[in-house]
């Protein structure tokens, strides 16, 4: 391996990366492009909080990888830096019950986690609300991937507690931002009537980026994350094209990182088109990997069973699933519905000769890709 700049090769202690963290999914960029109107709508909803009042509740919707989480995190960062408003971002893919959500709120407000057992929800809720009243604080809660609360039938109870906190504890000021990537989920219609009566959210929609916007955003990331000259225009254009095919900006960000690592494997100072094409085989599954990390063991088991019995009838899949888990048909059916709503499988009703209608279960991804990633979770 050469050690000089003249041969275009990296020495052992060099890197193509200026700042590798720029290519992490949770990185919040300094410049956030092509979402000006969405940011303004969110600021409008949050402005009352800056004046000490409850903010407007907001519903943020859009396909995966369209900047929803980044927009909210960017505004939360500004609020924390410039105001006394308390902000808490909850990942509902991880915290998918009312108790888990309020545990995150407790942790943010008191700077330590509540006891892992022995504390009722009622007590947890009271401590959070009373602290907000005592400090005269405004709390803004972002429930990210709120669709997971719906999948677990926890959404109505969670929102009811948040939105009616001021009734039980006069002076409690809590606003809610719901973030959902499930475009088939009608959030308001899916809530209990007791919650619908108080939840009238502002709606902010994040559309898919077009290829020029993707190029613009990825060019900015490459400029901050790579050393000068590592990724040229033709290479960035190819990354943008592949990203546009998926519709998910996170694919492009992951693709840049993996392409950079591939270049380093070759001890090259520049990313080639071959580095990108090779990296795409893994980067195109970034959404799949993220979805798998949010599943329980039994949900992952069912997905593995479906991969082994792709296209078979639900009854046959259940037999194999029951053999592995000993779980009953009711729980099995609930998991099937959840995986279907996550677009990991398609559960489609078909006519079966002599047996009426039955559901056939098909993976929405390549079976080998699913099984490989299940091993890594």
The binding site for ATP comprises 66-70, 209, 221
How is domain 290-376 classified at the CATH fold level? Answer: Arc Repressor Mutant, subunit A (1.10.10)
pLDDT of residue 6: 45
Rounded average pLDDT per 10-residue block, the chain, 377 residues: 53 92 93 95 97 97 96 96 96 96 97 89 96 96 97 96 94 97 93 94 97 97 97 98 95 98 96 97 93 93 94 90 95 94 89 70 94 90
d(CA 163, CA 322): 40
Q: What is the CATH number of domain 36-205?
A: 3.40.50.300
| Residue 115 CB neighbour total at 10 angstroms | 9
pLDDT of residue 314: 87
The binding site comprises 66-70, 209, 221
pLDDT of residue 312: 85
DSSP state of 313: B
- Residue 355's SS3 state is coil
Q: Give the pairing of strands 173-180 and 138-144.
A: parallel
d(CA 32, CA 142): 19
Strands (E), the chain: 58-61, 86-91, 138-144, 173-180, 202-205, 345-352, 356-363
pLDDT of residue 3: 39
pLDDT of residue 349: 81
pLDDT of residue 339: 94
d(CA 265, CA 270): 11
Counts of helices then strands in the chain (DSSP H, E): 17, 7
3-state SS, 196-250, equals HCCCCCEEEECCCCCHHHHHHHHHHHHHHHECCCCCCHHHHHHHHHHHHHHCCHH
Domain ranges of the chain: 36-205, 209-284, 290-376
How is domain 209-284 classified at the CATH fold level? Answer: Helicase, Ruva Protein; domain 3 (1.10.8)
């Amino acid at each position: 391996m050469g050690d000089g700049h003249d041969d275009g090769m990296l020495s052992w202690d060099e890197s193509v990366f200026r700042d590798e963290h720029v290519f992490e999914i949770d990185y919040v960029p300094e410049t956030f492009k092509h979402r000006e109107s969405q940011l303004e709508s969110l600021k409008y909803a949050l402005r009352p909080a800056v004046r000490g009042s409850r903010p407007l509740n907001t519903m943020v919707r859009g396909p995966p990888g369209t900047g929803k989480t980044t927009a909210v995190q960017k505004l939360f960062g500004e609020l924390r830096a410039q105001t006394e408003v308390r902000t808490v971002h909850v990942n509902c893919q991880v915290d998918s019950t009312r108790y888990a959500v309020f545990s995150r709120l407790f942790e943010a407000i008191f700077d330590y986690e509540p006891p892992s057992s022995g504390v009722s929800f009622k007590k947890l809720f009271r401590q959070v609300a009373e602290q907000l009243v005592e400090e005269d604080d405004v709390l803004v809660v972002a429930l990210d991937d709120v669709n997971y609360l719906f999948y677990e039938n926890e959404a109505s109870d969670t929102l009811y507690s948040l939105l009616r906190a001021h009734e039980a504890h006069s002076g409690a000021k809590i606003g809610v931002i719901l973030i959902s990537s499930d475009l088939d989920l009608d959030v308001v219609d899916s809530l209990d009537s007791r919650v619908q009566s108080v939840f009238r959210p502002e709606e902010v929609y994040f559309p898919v980026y077009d290829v020029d916007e993707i190029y613009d955003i990825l060019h900015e990331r490459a400029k901050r994350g790579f050393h000068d000259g590592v990724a040229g225009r033709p290479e960035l254009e190819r990354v943008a094209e592949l990203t546009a095919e998926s519709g998910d900006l996170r694919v492009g960000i992951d693709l840049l990182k993996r392409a950079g690592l591939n270049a380093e494997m070759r001890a090259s100072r520049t990313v080639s088109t071959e580095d990108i094409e090779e990296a795409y085989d893994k980067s195109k599954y970034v959404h799949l990997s993220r979805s798998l990390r949010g599943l329980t063991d039994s949900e992952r088991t069912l997905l593995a069973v479906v991969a082994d019995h792709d296209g078979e009838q639900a009854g046959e899949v259940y037999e194999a699933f029951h053999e592995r888990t000993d779980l009953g048909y009711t729980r099995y059916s609930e998991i099937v519905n959840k995986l279907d709503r996550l677009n990991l499988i398609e559960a489609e009703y078909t006519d079966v000769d002599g047996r009426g209608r039955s559901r056939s279960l098909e993976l929405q991804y390549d079976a080998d890709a699913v099984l490989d990633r299940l091993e890594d979770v």
